[in-house]
Amino acid sequence: MKNNIDIKMLAKETFELEASNVLALSEKIDDDFVKVVESILTLKGRVIITGIGKSAIIAQKIVATLNSTGTPSIFMHAADAIHGDLGIIQEHDLIIAISKSGNTPEIKVLIPFLKQTGNTLVAIVGNNSSYLADQADYVLDTTITREACPNNLAPTTSTTVQLAMGDALAVCLQTKRQFSDQDFAKYHPGGALGKQLYLKVGDLSDQRGLPQVQADSNVRNVLISITKFRLGATVVEQDGNILGIITDGDIRRMLEKHEDVSELKAIDIMSENPKTIEKTELAVNALHEMRQNSISQLVVVDEGVYAGIIHIQDILKEGII
């Protein structure tokens, strides 16, 4: 083992090599790339992506990205395809084959069968003189200068470039489709990203009730209200109007300031002008508001009318961050 190797420098050289090859893709975006995007936009079927080895792994990631951004896609392993999986391909599908060399045995065996289906064949290939490039309808050039692997063997730079090309396709398709953040949420309903885009304040506050006391309520009733709803606060209201809020912190400050609290009323210990948020706002916006103001609760309103309290723990339990 060479103990004198500068590990930091080696890592930086890897980044620089891969980054330079990704940047070089800009010069390789030609009419074929545009035609592939246009073909997918008008596609009646799905995008089928295939590959072998490390290229197969990249294919799976590109499929995942396309699916999550509005382009129905399926992964088909090149080796499995010639043993029965060709049945995946339907009449109106478009096929993308990924290969660095474009001449691997599995790809060379598979291509004739793909051509027989009559589907459009796109090559993401690192060798424009290869069998795959020659047979494809469109070629997306992912040629590299060399692998980051010191032996120039292990797929490193090549797979990074393939992945970047897939991302470029996905971003172009997403933008042309005007795929919005709300569309994105539909494909990610259970994840943190999805919840940030669809979970509303009212979805959480409506489950917790309406902790409230009147302006002339005594301290005992205030404590009962705070304890009952377990939100660390209660709203002080009068004739349907929000006068203020009483939090656990207000109670502690009251006890520090007054030895006798028997004559105190809610209006005496409340904090005026509490921070409010509309129930239709996204829950993630409520979280930002709480953090910005160093508070744990927000008063929820429905077009100005008191509708509950949302606590920071309600949001954190949803796994939004």
Question: Residue ranges of the domains in the chain?
Answer: 7-179, 198-316
For 192-202, write each residue's pLDDT tens digit. 555 666 788 99
pLDDT tops 90 at residue 191? no
Q: Which two tokens stand for residue 156?
A: 């490193």
In which residue are the tokens 């009646």 written?
Answer: 44
For strands 212-214 and 233-238, give the pairing: parallel
**Is the model's pTM score more than 0.85?**
no
| 198-316 and 7-179 share a CATH fold | no
- In tens, the pLDDT along 30-79 reads 999 999 999 999 999 999 999 999 999 999 999 999 998 889 999 999 99
Give the model's pLDDT for residue 307. 94
Q: Which residue has the higher pLDDT, 3 or 179?
A: 179
Radius of gyration of the chain (CA): 30
Element housing 307 (H / E): strand 305-311
pLDDT digits (tens, 9 = 90+) for 71-81: 999 999 999 88
Question: Any residues with CB less than 8 A from the CB of 137 and at least 6 apart, and which?
Answer: 120, 121, 122
Mean per-residue pLDDT for 263-292? Answer: 92
Q: Please, are residues 75 and 92 in contact by the beta-carbon 8 Å criterion?
A: no
Type of residue found at 3: N
Q: What is 7-179's CATH number? A: 3.40.50.10490
CATH number of 198-316: 3.10.580.10
pLDDT (tens digit per residue) in 217-246: 999 999 999 999 999 999 999 888 999 999
CA separation for the pair 285, 141 (Å, rounded):
43
